[in-house]
Amino acid sequence: MSSPAPRTVITFGTFDVFHVGHLKVIERAAALGDRLVVGVSADELNLRKKGREPVFSQGERLAIVAALKPVDEVFVEESLELKRHYIQQYAADVLVMGDDWAGKFDEFGDICEVVYLARTPAISTTALIEKISGGS
Ligand code: C2G
């Protein structure tokens, strides 16, 4: 008897100034399948989207995410518009995002399951940067 095909989960993020909220979403995403693939957004994409460079470069952010136990594979997310392509390229069965993105990726429900997980409260890269730089 053949065993069922492994279930691939994909998630995306910047993961800048890596914190426990990032860890939790990655752990919970991994628990939804057998293999976790993470798209780490490119420096260029961040600059375009947020108007500032990330604190850590894409090479550093990729290395941190790739070293996590629940992560099987990482790649650079070059554009937000390429989500469908990445889901297909990595043959993902499930797309997981934090619920700050709720509803935004429902269109991919035709090719995979789309799951939004509750964000970890009271922690964000922006708040950390402000705290570290003495802002609050
Ligand atoms: N996250 C979380 N809890 C927090 C902070 C972040 O669960 N307190 C989750 C986000 O919801 C997201 C992941 O951690 O699923 C990565 O967060 P960001 O690095 O802020 O990613 P973002 O810049 O929103 O992603 O295609 C999406 C892009 O790559 C951008």
Q: What is the CATH number of the domain that holds 57?
A: 3.40.50.620
DSSP summary character for residue 78: -
For residue 3, how far is its CA from the centre of ligand 1 (angstroms)? Answer: 33
Q: Considering just the CA atoms, what is the radius of gyration of the chain in Å?
A: 15
The residue whose C-alpha atom lies closest to atom 11 belonging to ligand 1 is 98
User: For each of the chain's 136 residues, which pLDDT tens digit applies?
Assistant: 677 789 999 999 999 999 999 999 999 999 999 999 999 999 999 999 888 899 999 999 999 999 999 999 999 999 999 999 999 999 999 999 999 999 999 999 999 999 999 999 989 998 999 999 986 5
39 located within any domain? yes
pTM to 2 decimals? 0.95
Instruction: Please tell me if the CB atom of residue 25 comes closer than 6 angstroms to any atom of ligand 1.
Output: yes
Cβ-Cβ contacts under 8 Å for 53 (sequence gap 6 or more): 43, 46, 47
**Domain that residue 81 falls in:** 1-97
Q: Which ligand 1 atom lies nearest to the CA of residue 123?
A: 8
128 located within any domain? no
Closest to 77 measured CA to CA, from 8, 1, 12, 6:
12
CB atoms within 10 A of CB 122: 7
126 located within any domain? no
129 located within any domain? no
- How many domains, the chain? 1
